[in-house]
Every structure is written in structure tokens, then in C-alpha cells.
Structure 1
Amino acid sequence: MCEWHDVFQPIFQVDKDLKPSVDHYEMLLRDQNGKFPIDDFFRVIGTEEDNQQWIQTESQALAKVFKACPNIHVNLNVEPVQFAYPSV
């Protein structure tokens, strides 16, 4: 998991005058090649305990982001399989 990093993709809202502004960000998980680490990710969240560890790691990353930029809004993606865990 240490080879993964988070990318914050801006999501724009465009007004009636076609003036864009950042509405929020989408937090994306990426590997060293800039791609979603699909196989490794599903291995890492394979058990509820492992999934909780991953959530804790991402929570710490988000806490740093919110400390540096307290007024931003971030959307998170959750894999449907993660909802099978009662803790999610």
C-alpha cells in the first residue's frame, strides 16, 4: 500500500455565463503508474479488519488535507463490496 497515493481531481461547476469554478474534489487512489490499483486494492480490503485499516490510513490522509484546506469539499468512492462489512 505504500506505493499508493491520493489524487484530488477538481470537479467544476459551470454557471450560465460559462464561468467555471471548482465545486468540490473527488479523492482518487492511484499507484506509481497513475492508475487505480484494482487487484491490490481488492486484496487489501479482503477482510473487514483489513478494510478498516485501509479506511484508517485514508482518514489520516484526509485529516491532513482538511487541516491544510479546511473549506474544501471532497467526495469519496466506496466499492460496493465494502458495504458488506457492518463497520462500513
Structure 2
Amino acid sequence: MLASLWQTRALLRAQLVEEGFEVLATDTWPMMRQYLRLGWKPRLAIVDLQGLPDRERALNGLRILMKPNRVLVLYLRREIPGINGTRRMAP
């Protein structure tokens, strides 16, 4: 899980652990990228774009390192101009 805000990261991680999932949570894209490059392939990568610096870089990197159906992106529409509704990462 990638979330720059510690509150979001802590709450999501706690709920997922409570549900029985193993969760690796980080606040920076370089750290998440490092784990993914080392061969750690989660069933699902959760990315919260709120407050995340260099969002485009993180999303572009995820397109390379993860299958699109294994990425869940959380965002507020008002924070990201030009996004209306749901978008797929794959073409």
C-alpha cells in the first residue's frame, strides 16, 4: 500500500490486517518501487493519491511493475483535474 498520509495508511493497514491480509505499507513511491522490483508481487497494490507527490510517476511505474487488474487507486475527484469517474490503467 502506498499512502503519503499516515492516518490513511494506518487505518487501511489496520483494517486489512484485521481481515487477515498481510500488508506492507509505505509513504513514498521509491520505497514501494524498490519492493516491487525485488520481486515482491502483492495480490493487490493500493495507492492513495491524496497528498502523494509526483503522482504521475508513481502511476506510470505501477503500469510497468503490476498488472492493471491488481492496482486499486484511491483519489478525490476534486483534487485531480480532468478525472471524471473511473479510469482503467490498461489501454
Task: Please say which structure displays the higher CA radius of gyration.
Answer: 1
* Fold equivalence (TM over 0.5): no
Tell me the TM-score normalized by structure 2. Answer: 0.32
Higher helix share: 2
Higher strand share: 1
